[in-house]
Amino acid sequence: MIVSTIILKLISIFFIVGLLSSQVLFGQQKFVFEKPEMGSPFTISVFANDSAKAVEVAELAFHCADSLNAIFSDYIDSSELNRLNATSGQNRYVPVSAALFEILKYSLNAARLSHGSYDISMGPVVNLWRIARKEKKLPNPDSLKNAMEKVGYKYIHLNEDQRSVWLEKKGMQLDLGGLGKGYVAQAALHVIQSKGFRSAMVNAGGKIAIGEPPPGRDGWRIGITVPEEKEELISQLLLLKNTSVATSGDIYQHLDINGKRYSHIIDPKTGLGITWQRNVTAIAKDATISDWLATACSVLPEKKSFQLIKKFPGAALLISEMKDGKLVQKSSANFKNYFGD
């Protein structure tokens, strides 16, 4: 098994990192494991009494992430998602795995609730913008128009009884970005907790699933980056347990043309990368939900974003922007409840 090989090769490094970077709390030690996954650092933090058992459960979680990535990735030609995409326009339902069917259900629910501000059918347009960022020029207008004719979440049909999917439009390409990392993080956390390690956290490139707090603590402390900054954090830290948090922004992926910045986050209504620079942080009970909420609320106007967040009990939203060199923040009324003292 590939993951086993990686873990065995890096076990000594992981163990040293754990010893150097963690504290011992109430007889348990924090171990931190990291490897690239889904194009981002994938970090597992777990409290355990035994280093060998911590390594073992991390291995299982990484294997879970690898397995799901092989299903969901649009970068892997042989992925189940790409095999499904290849059937678009064939006027038939295609049986899919339980994992793919579940995430597609999440995705369509997200599209409906956000009135299309999150739409997994944007694959053809996303591909154009990936090329545009590499070539440092805007997509060709005719190519963009052609790509937009292939999108629309309403053309994705699910058959619950047969666990099958029909992609109605020819050339449709589903893209699970903006939701997939959150789903994988939540699944990996479930694997860890199912083995008895309740105090754990999984960070999939900023999409974070959080379990029970560290021993003797009220929660996990999570920082939120300042817009347009990679390292600087806002002054207050979140204190979270048994929940999830995701932040979307364009600091790592964007295209600058003639003084205007186009984000990698695309407005499904226009096919264009959004041009306002803001970080959107969403807290929700499940990392799949917080992931897509952060994405959708990056596209939606602020008023509609705060209306959307109210549809999820306990969910909270923070929108941060830099205006005239000053940090401006707007949040749902309950967001302050998640800040630590």
Q: Are residues 261 and 302 in the same domain?
A: yes
Pair (270, 122) in one structural domain = no
Q: Within this chain, do residues 129 and 42 fall inside the same structural domain, yes or no?
A: no
Q: How confident is the model at residue 322 (pLDDT cuts 50, 70, 90)?
A: confident
Decide if 172 is inside a domain.
no
CATH code at 18?
3.10.520.10
Confidence of residue 13 (pLDDT cuts 50, 70, 90): very low
| Residue in the block written with tokens 């999108």 | 151
* Each residue's pLDDT tens digit, 40-95: 889 999 999 999 999 999 999 999 999 999 999 999 999 999 999 999 999 999 99
Rounded distance between C-alpha atoms, residue 43 and residue 189, angstroms = 11
Q: Number of structural domains, the chain?
A: 2
Give the pair of three-digit tokens for residue 144: 């963009």
Domain with 147 in it: what CATH number?
1.10.3980.10
Final residue before a domain boundary, out of 133, 167, 201? 167
Is 190 domain-assigned? Answer: yes
Indicate if 163 and 183 belong to the same structural domain: no
Asked if residue 75 is part of any domain, the answer here is: no
In a domain, 173, yes or no: no
pLDDT tens profile 115-150 = 999 999 999 999 998 998 898 999 999 999 999 999
Q: Are residues 108 and 52 in the same domain?
A: no
Location of structure tokens 């545009």: 132
> What distance in Å separates the CA atoms of residue 316 and residue 338, rounded to the nearest whole number?
9
Rounded distance, CA 167 to CA 93, Å? 8
Same structural domain, 154 and 90: yes
pLDDT at position 253 is 66
* pLDDT at position 3 over 60: no
Name the pLDDT band for 251 (thresholds 50, 70, 90). low
Q: How many CB atoms lie within 10 A of CB 132?
A: 19
pLDDT for res 340 = 86
From 112, 140, 167, the end of a domain falls on 167
Cβ-count burial of 303 within 10 angstroms (0-12 exposed, 13-18 middle, 19+ buried)?
A: exposed
142, 92: one domain = yes
Residues 289 and 153 in one domain: no
Beta bridge partners of 284: 244
What DSSP line would sit under 201-219, residue for residue? EEEETTEEEE-SPPTTSSS
Give yes or no: residues 48 and 95 share one domain: no
Q: Which domain holds residue 157?
A: 80-167
Higher pLDDT, 23 or 219: 219
User: Tokens standing for 219?
Assistant: 């929660």
Instruction: Answer yes or no: is 256 within a domain.
Output: yes
Residues 6+ apart with CB under 8 A from 43: 32, 33, 34, 202, 203
Residue 71 lies in a domain: no
pLDDT band at 15 (very low <50, low <70, confident <90, very high): very low
Least confident of 90-94, 252-256, 263-267: 252-256
Q: Percent of the chain at pLDDT above 70? A: 89
